[in-house]
Amino acid sequence: MREVDRRGKYNRRIFLQGAATALPAAAIAANTGIGIEDAWADDATSLRPATLKTLVKVARDIYPHDFLVDSYYVTAVKPWDGKAAKDPAVKALLEEGVRRLDQDAQDRHKVAYAQVPWEADRVVLLQGIEQTDFFKKVRSDLVVSLYNQEELWPKFGYEGSSAEHGGYIKRGFNDIDWLPKV
């Protein structure tokens, strides 16, 4: 059966400006999950850099995939800055949402959300705000902005667009080989 190369075509490409100089190429190629440098957040035009960085942490806690490096979550979250620049209500929603989350984290753990060390503890904090507009909006946006990244698909064994490759008729549409004989 034809398997999908999980490394995809883009494992050596750096998506974010500034990150290439900050990290050794070997670490990225090995997909060890080292966090990308935060230079990208300092380029924000509307949201506070700390807010964007926290949103990346929140994004990973909402949809945790250990084999995905931070860059995918950064790519998913970055557009919020543009949306906040266009709409003050969006900006207020995000800044206030993060502020409240940080406050909850301070009350319970004496540190900001992104510094709470255990994922399980951060998830409890998210459950606390699960019914808020902030959480609902962030999550429903993320389910598209994260999983709709083409570079991410091979990591889940999904091959994306097919017609330009002649469909799957010659690429294993029926090549399953482990079923018991019917």
Partner 1 sequence: MAKFDQNDDGVVVIVGSGAGGGTLGNELAQKGVKVVILEAGPRTEIQDFINNEWESFTQLAWTDMRTTSGSWRVARDFANLPAWIVKSVGGSTVHWAGASLRFDEHEFRIRSTYGNVPGANLIDWPITLTEMEPWYAKAEDKMGVTRTNNIPGLPGNNNFKVMEAGAKKLGYKEVHTGRMAINSEPRDGRGSCQQIGFCFQGCKSGAKWSTLYTEIPKGEATGNLEVRPNSMALKIEHDASGKVTGVVYADEAGKTQRQKARIVAVAGNSIESPRLLLNSASSMFPDGLANSSGQVGRNYMRHMTGSVYAVFDKSVHMYRGTTMAGIIRDEARHDPSRGFMGGYEMETLSLGLPFMAAFLNPGAWGRPFTAAMEGYPRMAGVAGRRGYAAGDQPRHARPESQGQVRLAGRQRAL
Under the rule (CB under 8 A), what is the footprint of partner 1?
A: 1-4, 61-65, 123, 139, 143-144, 146-148, 153, 156-164, 166-169, 171-176, 178-180, 182
Q: Which is nearer to partner 1, 10 or 156 (CB)?
A: 156
Q: Which is nearer to partner 1, 89 or 176 (CB)?
A: 176
Q: Which is nearer to partner 1, 40 or 134 (CB)?
A: 134
Secondary structure (H, E, C), 85-115 = HHCHHHHHHHHHHHHHHHHHHHHHHCCCHHH
CA 40, 42, 28 angle in degrees (round to 5)?
25
**Distance of closest approach, residue 43 Cβ to partner 1, in angstroms:** 26
Q: Which is nearer to partner 1, 117 or 160 (CB)?
A: 160
Closest CA to 121 of 66, 61, 51: 61
Rounded CA-CA distance 141/151 in Å is 18
Q: Which is nearer to partner 1, 32 or 178 (CB)?
A: 178
8 Å CB contact between 61 and 101: no
**Distance of closest approach, residue 155 Cβ to partner 1, in angstroms:** 9
One-letter amino acid for residue 6 of the chain: R
**Distance of closest approach, residue 160 Cβ to partner 1, in angstroms:** 7
**Distance of closest approach, residue 166 Cβ to partner 1, in angstroms:** 6
User: In sequence order, what are the residues at sequence separation of 6 or more whose Cβ sits closer than 8 angstroms to the Cβ of residue 29?
Assistant: 11, 12
Rounded CA-CA distance 119/60 in Å is 10
**Distance of closest approach, residue 113 Cβ to partner 1, in angstroms:** 16
